[in-house]
Structure 1
Amino acid sequence: MTIEIDDDQATAAARAVERLRLAEARLARRRQTDCGPSENARAAMRLILERADAGTGVTPTEIAQALAISTASVTGMLDRLHAGGLIGFVANPSDRRSKYVVPFDRDADPDAIDPVTARIREFALALPEDTAGQLAAFLDRVREVVDAECA
């Protein structure tokens, strides 16, 4: 049941963001048990693909730092991604003691890794350019508030 309340545009936007945050939390819980790779595994894959596209490597330690999780958790996650054929490892040429994590198949569709992002991109392409810019700026400010909480 949805309760409709007449509010000004700013309050409506704030409530929409709160509904989005709740939906993201529910999705994260479902992904932990029901539907494929965890949110951390998806975030790691995005980082690995971004670094590969930029022509740089990423180490397991850097993944742990970027995701703010333990290196032990990253090791288990990378083992599962490797077993699933999504990643491989290559020696770090500047430090033979470490390794880089690389995607196995660069022809893989990144939207298949996170289909929610693909759908959101579709919606964003339909926005007028000035609206898309304003929305992006607003959401970046929201993200900054979320990132700063309990930091």
Structure 2
Amino acid sequence: MAMGENELLALRYLLRQPDHSARPAELVKYLGVTSASITTMLDRLEKTGRIERLANPTDRRSIFVRATPHANEEVRETLGRMHGLMYDVAVGMSPEAQEHVVEFLRQMSDAVDGVDPVVTEETVDA
């Protein structure tokens, strides 16, 4: 798709909204970036036909941005393909390998949350 992570997240956010639109300030809050960054990102998305800027009918000082049908199709196609590939990887794993992955992810989640690791026989043997 030739998009950065924030561009994809912004499009997914817009596609989940009624009318597939939102104010730029909502994207600033959602993504945790500056309004200058949003403006630059929206310029790129508009240039590639993924969003359109619309005047706010009740306030001429503000705008809405709306994801285009092209963006909707592109995001669905890309994420659908990616999800299919991810599913194939998961299904192809042995039950033992799946258990190891689940344990790894649990430990990583605990680490991010600042939880001390749980010492078990399995972690001592490792």
Q: Please indicate the TM-score interval, normalised by the length of the shorter structure.
A: 0.5 to 0.7
71, 84, 93: which is aligned to 2:57? 93
Corresponding residue number in structure 2 for 1:65: 29
Tell me which amino acid in the other structure corresponds to 1:49: L
Q: Which runs of 5+ in 2 are unaligned?
A: 92-101, 115-126
What TM-score does the superposition give when structure 2 sets the normalisation length? Answer: 0.60
Structure with bigger RCO (C-alpha 8 Å, 6+ apart): 2
Q: Quote how far apart the aligned CAs of 1:46 are.
A: 0.5
Corresponding residue number in structure 1 for 2:77: 112
Q: Using the alignment, how far apart are the partners of 2:64 and 2:84 within structure 1?
A: 27
Percent of aligned pairs with the same residue? 28
97 and 110 in structure 1: CA distance in 2 versus 1, 3 angstrom threshold: same
What TM-score does the superposition give when structure 1 sets the normalisation length? Answer: 0.51
117 and 59 in structure 1: CA distance in 2 versus 1, 3 angstrom threshold: farther
| Higher Cα Rg, which structure | 2
Runs of 4+ that moved beyond 6 A:
none
C-alpha RMSD of the superposition: 3.6
Answer whether contact 2:14 2:20 (CA < 8 A) is retained.
no
Instruction: Count matched residues.
Output: 101
Q: Using the alignment, how far apart are the partners of 2:30 and 2:66 within structure 1?
A: 16
